[in-house]
Amino acid sequence: MKTTNRIQEFRKKRGLSQLRLSEAAGLSLRTIQRLEKDPTSGSPHSLSSIAEVLAVRVEELLPMEKMESDPFPLAVLQALKVMNLSALSVLFLPFCNLIFPSWIFWNTKNEKDFILPGRKILSFQIIWTLGTVIAIFGLPPLILLAYNFHRAGGVPWAIPIYYLSLVVHIFYTIRIARALANGDTSLHFLPNIL
């Protein structure tokens, strides 16, 4: 049974040559040619780069037989959803966005399908926490210096900065939840620092 070449199909729909796709994805032309012959031989990074350029999910690049015969385990998907939503505990207690997802990751890391998306969710939580701490402690002194506020009792800048940071956190948590609900476990919009 011949499989449909999904990468080539999406590439041609977008009007891209193999060379243009390779340049946009940051991959070699040979890699694009090899993946068009057998997309299952590609690394997650290569497939993710191509999917991002073609504006599709990684799963859509795989042959239909692969997609049907190797579905993403439901238990792992549920664990990813719980891990993602547990990060909202930061609304009640600081740093719980690291504690609860880390605990879930540690207890579920033996599932091979869980590791990469789990790392990406945890990476986002680490980056968000570090960024928030740096913003809360670093921006107020800079704002005070820039506007020469020498009087006591000015605006407590840490509070609006923290609330703005929470809005960003909630936005990304919802975005991750929507991606997982659609079956997109690549989470290509999140970095992986772990």
pLDDT, tens only, 53-92 = 888 888 788 765 544 445 567 788 888 899 989 998 988 9
The Cα 82–Cα 80 span in angstroms is 5
Predicted TM-score (pTM) of the model is 0.58
Q: Give just the sign of the alpha carbon dihedral 111, 117, 123, 124.
A: negative
% helix, strand, coil for the chain, step of 5: 70, 0, 30
Q: How many CA atoms lie within 13 A of 68 on its CB side?
A: 4
DSSP assignment, residue 190? Answer: S
What domains does the chain contain, in order, with CATH numbers? 6-69 (1.10.260.40), 74-181 (no CATH)
Which positions ≥6 away from 161 have C-beta within 8 Å? 132, 135, 136, 139, 140
pLDDT digits (tens, 9 = 90+) for 1-15: 344 478 888 888 889
The Cα 128–Cα 134 span in angstroms is 10
